[in-house]
Amino acid sequence: TQLLEQSPQFLSIQEGENLTVYCNSSSVFSSLQWYRQEPGEGPVLLVTVVTGGEVKKLKRLTFQFGDARKDSSLHITAAQPGDTGLYLCAGALVSKGSNYKLTFGKGTLLTVNP
């Protein structure tokens, strides 16, 4: 059973288009993070959202955490070829006392064509 469902799994769009990636779960997370991974590299953190309903903006990227802290979305405005990559959401769940475990979704592979 996949704890975090990401959709779509693949997305190929033209430069200038807008897109939204979704991350859904039945679990409540302490926080939720979005990472971007480029080929041959490890994932790199884009943003962390903590409060239900929180919205964060990073240039053309807008991240939203659901009110119930079970889901999140990433919206990219006017996508550029440089946005191409694998986008991963990750939820932090408390595990074994005060420890937390970061669980990743399967990722959305985004290709922005010039």
Partner 1 sequence: DTAVSQTPKYLVTQMGNDKSIKCEQNLGHDTMYWYKQDSKKFLKIMFSYNNKELIINETVPNRFSPKSPDKAHLNLHINSLELGDSAVYFCASSQDRTPLGNTEAFFGQGTRLTVV
- Binding residues for partner 1, rule: CB under 8 A, are 30-31, 33, 37, 40-45, 48, 50, 86, 88, 90, 92, 94-96, 98-104, 106-107, 109
Output 22 or 100, the one with its CB closest to partner 1. Answer: 100
CB of 21 to partner 1, least distance (A): 14
Q: How far is C-alpha 76 from the chain's CA centre? A: 11
CA dihedral 67, 54, 96, 106 (to 10 degrees): 90
CB of 103 to partner 1, least distance (A): 7
CB-CB contact of 4 with 105 (8 Å)? yes
CB of 105 to partner 1, least distance (A): 9
Could you give the CA distance from residue 109 to residue 11 in angstroms, rounded to a whole number?
6
